[in-house]
Amino acid sequence: MLRKRIIFSLLYSDGYFMQSRNFRLQKVGDIKWLERNYKFKEIAFSLDEIIVLDTTKPHKDINKFALTVEKIVEGTFIPVAAGGGVKCLEDAELLFKSGADKIVINSALIDNPSFVKELVKHYGSQSIVASVDYKIVNGVTELFINGGTKKIDISYVDYLKHLLELEIGELYLNSIDRDGTGFGYDYSLVLLTREYLNIPIILAGGAGNENHLLEAIKMKDISAVATANLFNFVGDGLPNARKYIINLGENIANWDVNK
């Protein structure tokens, strides 16, 4: 049985890292602040993966973002997925050369599916993560692209079928309603997603403490849990959460989180 993963998501915007609540962003600090407060090189054993997303508006600078990815990757020795505004093979290649192991795609899934197919053909499905941002409104799933600013007119089931055709390798399922609240994850789409996609599901949006991570990890259809909550998991928050989950005997890698 594949081990479950704990992922830390970093939201980047024009040289700074952001805290998000319901996709409303607040500037927190730059790369020096991040290293001072999280010390990625020291806490690498408490993480299985890092996801870095460029949320810069209105105009993204892929070269500047790639340099930030390079700094994060340096010395961490864990997989890194990067995305946000990737529009062509050259963008993806730059992020791979900067140390990314996977590319995260959101808007292009709808705006340019032929490009996504090209990405999959060129790099393999295992290297492509589909990021799906959603809200539940009166029991109906609403899907969004462009950093949560543009609603797309498609049912969730039809979207799952669309992703199946694109042959993406992993799904990052992110609740806008729960994002940054610390109230826990939304599980309402997990079983339906599994009916159509037999790929790893990363659940994101809502983690506020170690029990939220634990609850999601226990679900058989969830492969990984992600948190972008910079405040709730500052300092030793992530190492302590991992030790807590390991001590309860859950199926995650037993790294030496004291290193």
Tokens 């050259």 belong to residue: 90
Q: 221 an active-site residue?
A: no
Catalytic residue among 133, 179, 236, 256: 133
Tokens of 47: 């993480």
- For residue 37, give the nearest of 242, 236, 240 by alpha carbon: 236
Could you give the CA distance from residue 51 to residue 80 in angstroms, rounded to a whole number? 6
Q: List C-alpha distances in Å: 26 to 17, 76, 153, 230.
A: 9, 26, 29, 11
Helix axes 62-73, 31-38, angle to 10 degrees: 20
- List of residues 6+ apart from 204 with CB closer than 8 A: 9, 172, 173, 174, 175, 179, 185, 225, 226, 227, 228
If residue 34 lies in a helix (H) or strand (E), which one and from where to where?
helix 31-38
If residue 159 lies in a helix (H) or strand (E), which one and from where to where?
helix 156-166
- For residue 69, give the nearest of 26, 33, 29, 101 by alpha carbon: 101
In this structure, the number of other CB atoms found within 10 A of the CB of residue 1 comes to 5
Radius of gyration of the chain (CA): 17
Contact 133, 20 (CB under 8 A): no
Residues serving a catalytic function are 133
